[in-house]
Structure 1
Amino acid sequence: MTRKRKVDRRRRTPAGLRFAVLAVVVATGLVLLVVYTRPASAILASPAAAPVSLGDRLAMSSEVGSPGPGGNRAHRTLVVYDAGERDAPNPPADADEAGMAEAFAMQTANLVSRAGGWTMRAAADYRPGEIGGYQALVYVGSISDAVLPAALLADVVTAKVPVVWLGENVDRLVAHDPGVTARWGWTPAGRTPASPTEVRYKNVSLERNPEIGSVPLVRRENPAVNEVLADSVTAGEHTPWAVRSGNFTYVAEAPFSYVNEGDRYLAAADILLGTLAPKTSERHRALVRIEDIGPRTDAGQIRRIADLLGGQGIPFSLAVYPYYADPHGVANGGRPTFARLVDSPALVDALHHAIRRGATLIMHGYSHQFEELANPYGGASAADYEFYTAIVDKNNHVVETGPVPGDSAEWFRGRIATGLGEFRRVGLLEPEVFEFPHYGGSAVDYKEVSSHFAARYDQGSYFAGYCPRGACGSTSTVSYQNKYGQYFPYPVRDVYGAVVIPENLDHVAPEPFNQHPARLPADLLADGAKSKVVRDNVASFFFHPFLPLEHLNTVVLGLRAQGYEFTTASEVARG
């Protein structure tokens, strides 16, 4: 029977903590657009800059399924997943189960891109001998009793290329060919009696949320012909979580639910990379990004950050939105306030200074808020979403609700073109990397940004229905009720065709806010240490400039002490 599992990629909102007080004035439920006449005391911005011609920019998008940074163009993997069909007399999976299965396939394909190209296929659509056209196959098993054609089972048990089987239905291979257990040296043996709370990989303890539930149990019968790569741990009892037998690697779950920063997901990401690209060398790089910089940001603090990092030879990124809007004055004593980069010469000078000290500018949206909507706080830049809507519910949790009114590719292009114009008219280089505010945007927006920037720098948002039966690119079939986030331990090219520079350690948050607990420098460093289980990883965090700089220095020095080498976002994007 299929077990429904909540998918809750915990992602702290990259928001201005200085605006936390705004949550007090937000009524629970959706806050509607307020239309009013702006008072005469409003501080107004200069007229908008002339939009740039987006046709002049080099596109970053590539054919969906192309290799990501560092990937081998001669290597292609077939990613097979459960699309919702189940063997009779079982009913088909419901929409949520099928959507989760598709999302897990997308997340797997994203990781696979680090090694090479990929093709995604619903398992029920597999054709006899299809594996012969690929250098590897990965099966993503998230629906038990899924329809698995006999041809797929036969091709897997006789495969000459590496096969990675994630999660459910491994017993179907044994039912098809009982002799396979002798070759593996192990046999499926039901499920763990309780939910594991830990995965041990490379002698490192990785988190596993017990709410996920049990996993398939492996009974080793001939250790001479297999290798246990990782153990799951339940009440101190160790059982194999990942085991390799020749060219067949089994991982006891598709580990994409309840994923946190120091999660067992890291083990699966490394196992995939090591299986599909076994010659990958050990390398550990780090990135730091200074977040939520806009026309009202303290220019002196930007200079101090630039001198702190530049003085240590640490390259860094500055996430800049070029237009500040606080239409209700919630962050300015009730006085509506607006500004553009051209209205903030001291900040522009500080940005030029930072570039000279090793900074790279990232475009962090246009205004980091949406029109006059409380989205979800008070409508002010750096606090609110820009390309997606959100509310604060009765539990004081931020809940994302869907695309903004009027969302379209044309609308998105207009904001990007005008925003880039703001950089251009003050003499700043137009950013080649984009970051969605709060990592929130529609599938239309995510797909569109790929045409105008060299890379994204974020944790991606992925939607069920974008890759129906493995054919990625369909924005018309997307379900915005089934949204999934994913961080990456290394650079990838995702299902939107975009190169993604990873952010995976989150940020320093001295106080809890909404549903998110406090997160201190020690927490980031603990997860940075765990992340080194990935053989070629990037430990990447961001920092808000209004926080004490000793927090920033602590994380930077700590990551260096762990053996990380800081580099540039553009270098990571190249592989």
Structure 2
Amino acid sequence: MKNTYRLIKKRNAIMLIVFGLALLLGCTQTRTPVVNQIEISQNADSFPVKKVAVFYDDDPTDQWNYGKLYASMVRNLLGHFNTDVSIIDVADYQNGMLENYAAGIYIGNIYDYPLSDDFLQDVINSKNPFLWMNSNIWQLFKNEEGGAVEKFGFEFVEAEIINPDVKIIYKDKELPRLESDVYFNLVSINAGSKCEELATLKFSDTEEKPYAIRCGNFFYITHNPLANFYASYLVFADLLHDLLDTNVAESHRALVRFEDLMPGNVNYDLVKEQVNFLYEKGIPFAFGIIPVNTDPEGVWGEPGKTVYLYEDFMLQELIKYMIKRGGTPILHGYTHQHDSISGVDYEFWDGEKDIPFPEDDYTWASGRIASGIEQFEKALDYAPVIWETPHYSASPNTYFALANYFNVIYERVMVFNDLNIVSEDSEIDYTKIPYVTQTFPYQIFDSFYGLRIIPENLGYLEEGGEEEFGVPPTPEGKLILADMYSVVRDGVVSFMFHHWQPSQDFYDTINGLEDMGYTFVSIDELLQEIPPEYK
């Protein structure tokens, strides 16, 4: 799939909501938005595209056979750039294949997976950038006549289990690791070589070893940052800029989103108070709307009671109020439930069993998406532009169906160990296919699912909630994560908030992010952007 965008703009065919969210000169308030059509960058051959090959291991008999999943994750991250990505089983490699690509990436997921001599020699001889991560790096050096040591200037030392207390140092920042993140493939840089140590494993004040290195056009990361999905993942995401040789300026931006506004269950005055806080600071925001609130089991009242957005005139007025003060509405599902209460239950995934619902398929998902759009438009007289999947949980049936209705989603996505492109004729059961929920450190212009993704990565601000990524969901926890994300040179951080949570926590998080140097921007500003330019 190609990810190319015009430097000039082309009018989009669908009705979009535009919010003039730039600050007025000399004023701290946001400009009042209007409903209008906006222009979004489109494909153009004039904007350079880099073809990138992503190679993965595949052995169905191996317990760690997650190569397709990791390749899909890399594919998504490459969607931040102007790339044309091919995902290739490394066993299918043919002599000279690398010459067809501007850059290559190999994910060494399966230990001692047999790599062909053609692949190894082409990696050694390649004049284009190549990034190797994790295992099997020793195979590059198995044949002295191949010339790997002489060309690259480093050598494999050993595979080792490393205590999680050992931190990663990147851009002079000490980054934490998860307890499960222990498998590394240590290397040593030869004296006088051209290798540059990009990131370091700090064992003690006196002992350090390379974590990520660059030797000319060859990059190596000593473990799999996709497997543990923490700070090292951010290092990899940032190093893609170096691999692809971008010319991006350093910037650190932030988004905030109100969550789960639904008919019959909103404290209107409290929301206005929180919105006014943002408005006075000139901060734009987004808000997720559930157009149908239903309680089939009577958890919060009368069993079977359903309230529609078109019936809740006060919520409609609140939405208008929020838009005038810099808010962007997001369609957050149809009912945000399947069996239980709206806002709590899952809609497109069985959260209790952690499997798809029995009826999960492309047509079923399409029906619910279309119903949500219908209810939104019935109440507000315009169609939603952006979607957010309830609890960020769905199979590819839903994501591929979404691409027929939306260009943009604002969320994390579930990525599966499967590379099939889903259509209405597909009959894939995702019950037993491994998956992870992928967060993003920056905007993804073109994902594996064909959707543009606005990132949400700091999580839910919640009093007394469970830890995520090793930190509590408090203002302090959000700032710890935001500091970690600051290693990404063009990173965007985002958190979400239920209005019934303590307002002071909300205010403290906003102020804290600003004090750290983050600038709050609107969704509209991000939608006007194009991928980073190449040097």
1:314 to 277, 283, 286: 283
Pairing 1:449-468 to 2, within 5 Å after superposition: 449-467=402-420
Match of 1:487 in 2: 439
Alignment TM-score, normalising by the size of structure 2:
0.85
Q: Does 1:531 align with 2:485?
A: yes
Contact 1:463 1:479 in 2 (8 A): no
Q: Which runs of 5 or more residues in structure 2 are unaligned?
A: 1-12, 17-41, 531-535
Match of 2:55 in 1: 80
Match of 1:291 in 2: 259
Deviation at 1:171, TM superposition (A): 0.8
Match of 1:264 in 2: 232
Deviation at 1:123, TM superposition (A): 0.2
User: Alpha carbons of 1:428 and 1:233: their partners in 2 closer, same or farther (altered >3 Å)?
Assistant: farther
- The AA in structure 2 aligned to 1:490 is Y
Match of 1:7 in 2: none
Contact 2:400 2:422 in 1 (8 A): no
- The AA in structure 2 aligned to 1:292 is D
- The AA in structure 2 aligned to 1:180 is A
1:140 to 107, 118, 122: 107
Contact 1:466 1:478 in 2 (8 A): no
Distance in 2 (CA, whole Å) between partners of 1:203 and 1:161 is: 28
Helix, strand or coil: the match of 2:495?
Answer: strand
Distance in 1 (CA, whole Å) between partners of 2:381 and 2:251 is: 33
Distance in 2 (CA, whole Å) between partners of 1:308 and 1:567 is: 15
Q: Does 1:448 align with 2:401?
A: yes
Deviation at 1:57, TM superposition (A): 5.2
1:497 to 446, 450, 463: 450
Contact 2:356 2:431 in 1 (8 A): no
**Structure 1 range deviating more: 400-409 or 489-498:** 400-409
Match of 1:173 in 2: 140
1:16-40 alpha-carbon deviations (Å, 9 max, x no partner): xxxxxxxxxxxxxxxxxxxxxxxxx
Contact 1:57 1:452 in 2 (8 A): no
User: Alpha carbons of 1:429 and 1:291: their partners in 2 closer, same or farther (altered >3 Å)?
Assistant: same
Contact 2:251 2:491 in 1 (8 A): yes
Contact 1:302 1:351 in 2 (8 A): no
State the structure with bigger RCO (CA 8 A, min sep 6), 1 or 2: 1
- The AA in structure 2 aligned to 1:389 is D
Q: Does 1:390 align with 2:358?
A: no
2:314 to 330, 342, 346: 346
User: Alpha carbons of 1:477 and 1:547: their partners in 2 closer, same or farther (altered >3 Å)?
Assistant: closer
- The AA in structure 2 aligned to 1:280 is V
Q: Which runs of 5 or more residues in structure 1 are unaligned?
A: 1-55, 60-66, 85-91, 374-378, 392-399
Distance in 1 (CA, whole Å) between partners of 2:318 and 2:111 is: 56
Pairing 1:108-257 to 2, within 5 Å after superposition: 108-115=74-81, 116-177=83-144, 179-192=147-160, 194-197=162-165, 198-234=167-203, 237-257=207-227
Match of 2:533 in 1: none
**Structure 1 range deviating more: 436-445 or 268-277:** 268-277
Helix, strand or coil: the match of 1:540?
Answer: strand
User: Alpha carbons of 1:479 and 1:122: their partners in 2 closer, same or farther (altered >3 Å)?
Assistant: farther
Contact 2:72 2:419 in 1 (8 A): no
1:332-376 alpha-carbon deviations (Å, 9 max, x no partner): 3x6543101122111110010000001111110011111xx2xxx
Distance in 1 (CA, whole Å) between partners of 2:192 and 2:69 is: 34
1:550 to 494, 498, 504: 504
1:369-397 alpha-carbon deviations (Å, 9 max, x no partner): 11xx2xxxxx1111110000022xxxxxx
Deviation at 1:185, TM superposition (A): 2.0
Q: Does 1:572 align with 2:526?
A: yes
Q: Does 1:280 align with 2:233?
A: no
Deviation at 1:527, TM superposition (A): 1.2
Deviation at 1:189, TM superposition (A): 0.3
2:331 to 363, 385, 400: 363
Contact 2:411 2:456 in 1 (8 A): yes
1:519-545 alpha-carbon deviations (Å, 9 max, x no partner): 110110111112111011101111111
Deviation at 1:192, TM superposition (A): 3.3
Match of 2:476 in 1: 522
- The AA in structure 2 aligned to 1:503 is E
Distance in 1 (CA, whole Å) between partners of 2:485 and 2:213 is: 21
Contact 2:466 2:473 in 1 (8 A): no
Q: Does 1:105 align with 2:71?
A: yes
User: Alpha carbons of 1:429 and 1:553: their partners in 2 closer, same or farther (altered >3 Å)?
Assistant: farther
- The AA in structure 1 aligned to 2:408 is A
Contact 1:465 1:479 in 2 (8 A): no
Match of 1:53 in 2: none
Q: Percent identity?
A: 29
- The AA in structure 2 aligned to 1:338 is T
Match of 2:21 in 1: none
1:129-176 alpha-carbon deviations (Å, 9 max, x no partner): 111111100111111121322211111101111001111111111114
